[in-house]
Amino acid sequence: MADFKSTIDSAFSFQGDSILIGTAMLNKEAVVNTPVRLPLNMVSRHGLIAGATGTGKTKTIQHFAESLSEKGVSVLLMDIKGDLSGIARPGVSNPKIDERVAKIGGEWKPKQFPVELMSISGEKGLRLRATVSEFGPLLLSKILELNDNQQGAVTVIFKFCDDHQMPLLDIKDFREVLRFITNEGKENIKEYGTVSTATAGVIMRKLLELEQQGGDIFFGEKSFDVNDLLRKDSNGQGFINIIRLCDIQDKPKLFSTFMLCLLAEIYKSFPEMGDKAAPKIAIFIDEAHLIFNDASKALMDQLEQVIRLIRSKGVGIYFCTQVPSDIPESVLSQLGSKFQHAMRAFTANDRKDIKLVAQNYPETEFYKTDSLITEMGIGEAMISVLNEKGIPAPLVHTLLSPPVTRMDILTTQEQDEIVNNSSIARSYNEEIDRNSAYEMLKNKIQPDSAPPVKTVEKPSKKVGEDGGLDISKRIAEVSKNPVVKQVARELTRGLMGMLFGKR
């Protein structure tokens, strides 16, 4: 016992900053005041939070998020079940928490944290959106699961729009260009390549599918600036950004698309920091199997690549799921910290999973890992983290710290309060339908009946003798407008090309 405590004490005493996870346990009893910690410089090595339903995974995320925010690290929570919003309000003590805290040591002070509620659908919160242009041809093709030939057509369309400074903001824009180049614009596209009617038809159908999954809500302006995830409050605490995804469970494709887009955007926007620094942000993905279940091989490869690269940008990603085998091996092998809550052995398959999990943990003289995995209590976990030098710390059965915020959801009124008090939500939630490819092409076809547009002045003289059918002239006129110019520049600023173009 003395041996155990001194082993843990020395393994988890770090020179740099760290966050407290809980207190070590031996023979299923808490060893009072034997802190298990995660060094801050290892947060960006990613992690896994696994365990059966009701074993405490979400509370682990909640405590983790609170501790990071306190250290000035921002947090992004993918809240699928909607049970993390309580972090915006102080917790209420109860005898169970008091008992837990007495074993862990230290004091428990109820507290609330700065929270921004976000949504990619109709839920309350700041609306996260991205333009089709920002997505770029490769990623868009991947989501639509297009073959090489169809992807070629999409690339042609992007290039065409790029050259003619036609911003592709939403799906409506893309569809209109697709329609245009297979009809009256056939000649205009010739120098770029051919897009057959059949190919256009397939793409059109896939776009429709995406729209039915809610993809049209996600595409458009104002596109989200990922640097807004890194805000701090006046006390220097990192914001906890909660993306409410309660209505996305039956839309796995939209979820994985969104995740990939967000990660790619973060990768593109954040500066390189090297491996050693404190993290900028930690991202927690609850019910992570949803991302992987329906993802195509191509999407998976991209995800795996982003996860590998994003580490050096100071970004840690934590996957939360019931069994580790929900996560593909290629991703699993990149996860530095593991929080394994209890697993349940109902079926032969379960027992196989448990055996595998136990085998994957480091050898330990203190525990019988495979039996302990099924016997741990709620709010306990087998913890395997990296020490501050990046070497695995000993596997330790841990009684986990309780959250200091509310362990329950917010009321509708409380949610409204947060959204209304947000300093940035309003600017993102305004509806903008700026002049883009759709309007530009529509205008061209009916120059006289087209409504005067908001941001682009109508050309003073009639365009072309042929009643406006000369697209190059028309576009030249429109693109003199500074707003359009600016969008066109955005259009070419990488389009995730640096990440996806190389492959």
Minimum CB–partner distance for residue 340 and ligand ADP (Å): 12
Q: Which residue is nearest to Mg ion (CB)?
A: 58
Chain centre to alpha carbon of residue 418: 21
d(Cα 46, Cα 283) in Å, to the nearest integer?
A: 9
Q: What is the DSSP letter of 20?
A: E
CB 213 within 8 A of CB 249: no
Q: Which residue is nearest to ligand ADP (CB)?
A: 56
Minimum CB–partner distance for residue 124 and ligand ADP (Å): 22
Residue 51 interacting entry, from ligand ADP, Mg ion, none, C-beta within 5 to 8 Å by type: ligand ADP
In the shown chain, the binding pattern of residues 44 to 63 toward ligand ADP, with x for contact by CB under 6 A and - for none, equals -------x-xxxxxxx---x
d(Cα 36, Cα 461) in Å, to the nearest integer?
A: 74
Alpha-carbon distance values, 173 to 101, 129, 170, 291, 428 (Å)? 56, 15, 5, 27, 20
Residues 230-249 that bind Mg ion (CB under 5 A): none
Tell me the three state secondary structure of residue 300.
Answer: helix
| Binding residues for ligand ADP, total number by CB under 6 A | 15
Task: Select from 229, 287, 236, 226 the least CA-distant residue to 261.
Answer: 226
Residues 376-395 that bind ligand ADP (CB under 6 A): 378-379
Q: Is 279 in the site for ligand ADP (CB under 6 A)?
A: no
d(Cα 475, Cα 463) in Å, to the nearest integer?
A: 10
Q: Is 409 in the site for ligand ADP (CB under 6 A)?
A: no
Residues 96-125 that bind ligand ADP (CB under 6 A): 100
Minimum CB–partner distance for residue 58 and Mg ion (Å): 3
**Which lies closer to ligand ADP via its Cβ, residue 53 or residue 359?**
53
d(Cα 68, Cα 18) in Å, to the nearest integer?
A: 9
Among the listed ranges 54-62, 124-132, 160-168, 347-355, the one in contact with Mg ion (CB under 5 A) is 54-62
**Which lies closer to ligand ADP via its Cβ, residue 206 or residue 289?**
289
**Which lies closer to ligand ADP via its Cβ, residue 377 or residue 467?**
377
**Which lies closer to ligand ADP via its Cβ, residue 64 or residue 255?**
64
Minimum CB–partner distance for residue 62 and ligand ADP (Å): 7
- Which parts of 311-433 fold into alpha helices (H)? 329-332, 348-360, 369-375, 412-421, 425-429
Residue 402 interacting entry, from ligand ADP, Mg ion, none, C-beta within 5 to 8 Å by type: ligand ADP
Q: Is 86 in the site for ligand ADP (CB under 6 A)?
A: no
**Which lies closer to Mg ion via its Cβ, residue 19 or residue 320?**
320
Burial class (CB in 10 A: 0-12, 13-18, 19+), 466: exposed
Residue 201 interacting entry, from ligand ADP, Mg ion, none, C-beta within 5 to 8 Å by type: none
Other CB atoms within 10 Å distance of the CB of residue 194: 13
Q: Is 405 in the site for ligand ADP (CB under 6 A)?
A: no
Minimum CB–partner distance for residue 319 and Mg ion (Å): 13
Vertex 226 angle, CA 20 and 285, to 5°? 45
Query: Who's near 28: CB < 8 A, 6+ residues apart?
Result: 372, 375, 376, 377, 397
Residue 407 interacting entry, from ligand ADP, Mg ion, none, C-beta within 5 to 8 Å by type: ligand ADP
Among 58, 119, 133, 321, binds Mg ion (CB under 5 A): 58
Chain centre to alpha carbon of residue 240: 13
CB 261 within 8 A of CB 136: no
The residues of the shown chain that bind Mg ion, judged by CB under 5 A, are 57-58
Residues near ligand ADP (CB under 6 A): 51, 53-59, 63, 100, 378-379, 400, 402, 407
